[in-house]
Chains A and B, each alone.
Chain A
Amino acid sequence: MPTTSYLYLAVAVFALGLFGVLVRRNVFFVLMSIELMLNAANLVFVVFAKSHNDLNGHVLAFFVMAIAASEACVGLAIVILFFKKWASTDISDAVEMKQ
């Protein structure tokens, strides 16, 4: 399969994730769209690892996964705080930053 087909797929998935972050107002969908974008980036790393014949891309993909895990961890803790404060998961309800 040519490299470009994988790249087109990654671009499409990244654009979908971007669209989700911008349009959806449920905080869970925003988080999940961010995961989608991270995955699209990961796919590009792995594709170029193959086309450059260089395994460093796989190591980078592994690091991205670890960072995504920590992002999800802290992000979901913030979501729980958010829900305790506003009793909602709609990001447009967050109208102030005061605790």
Chain B
Amino acid sequence: MNVAHLFFYVFAALTLLAAVVMLTRKSALDGAICLVVCFLGFAGLYAMLDAPFVAAMQVLVYAGAIMMLIIFVIMTVNTDESRRAVKKPVLVGSIVATVIMVVCMTLFFTAVRGAKLPSDTGEAFLPGTVQRVGKLLFANHVLNFEMISLLLLTALVGALVLGKRHKSS
């Protein structure tokens, strides 16, 4: 077992454990903190997969921006969940969800097992640095990139409109 394997197991365990802990928390804030840990585990996996750009984006955008936004809203809303009667999940619903999850997992697992993965071409994979990904982004995907900026602007305006409408009415 070399160092790469060890790191894979560490990051994979961190990711899975944090995801499970997140799903079992009662408080949304605790869940959000666990999810940040989970995302950091993902960033480690990306770094191991020769994707330094995606790893950096994972930390900046996911663990930084998105989770900050979610935690901000959790604190704004701040329902005192301990005081209100906590409704238990419906048993039938939980059973159905578990069955769906198990079926999906089995399907995906068999798909992965039977998949014909591309054979190793022998060429070394060049790490996806900012320079290489940036070149690809602005050469082949420049239209998509512009559409993404439009999408972000639309989301921004949409969030503003949604937030404002309630006050005026």
**Chain A interface residues toward B at CB < 8 A:** 1, 3-9, 11-20, 22-26, 28-29, 31-33, 35-36, 39, 42-43, 46-47, 49-53, 55-56, 58-59, 61-63, 65-74, 76-81, 83-84, 87-90, 92, 99
CB contacts (< 8 Å) of A7 on chain B: these are: 112, 115
Docked Cα-Cα span, A12 to B15, in Å, equals 10
CB distance A65 to B162 under 8 Å?
Answer: no
CB contacts (< 8 Å) of B57 on chain A: these are: 61-62, 65
The interface residues of chain B, by DSSP majority, are classed as helix
Docked Cα-Cα span, A25 to B94, in Å, equals 11
In the complex, residue of chain B having the shortest beta-carbon distance to the beta carbon of A99: B169
List 5 additional contacts besides A62-B54, A70-B151; criterion CB under 8 Å: A6-B45, A22-B93, A63-B148, A65-B58, A81-B166
CB distance A23 to B53 under 8 Å?
Answer: no
In the complex, residue of chain B having the shortest beta-carbon distance to the beta carbon of A4: B112
Kindly provide the distance from the CB of B16 to the nearest chain A CB, expressed in whole angstroms. 6
CB contacts (< 8 Å) of B159 on chain A: these are: 73-74, 76-77
CB distance B20 to A16 under 8 Å?
Answer: yes
CB distance A74 to B158 under 8 Å?
Answer: yes
Assess A23 versus B108: contact at CB under 8 Å? Given A70-B152, A73-B155, A76-B73.
Answer: no
List, sorted by A's number, 14 A–B pairs whose CB atoms are closer than 8 Å.
A8-B112, A11-B105, A13-B19, A22-B97, A35-B66, A58-B54, A65-B62, A66-B61, A66-B152, A73-B69, A74-B162, A81-B163, A83-B79, A92-B87
Assess A32 versus B54: contact at CB under 8 Å? Given A51-B117, A58-B128, A69-B61.
Answer: no
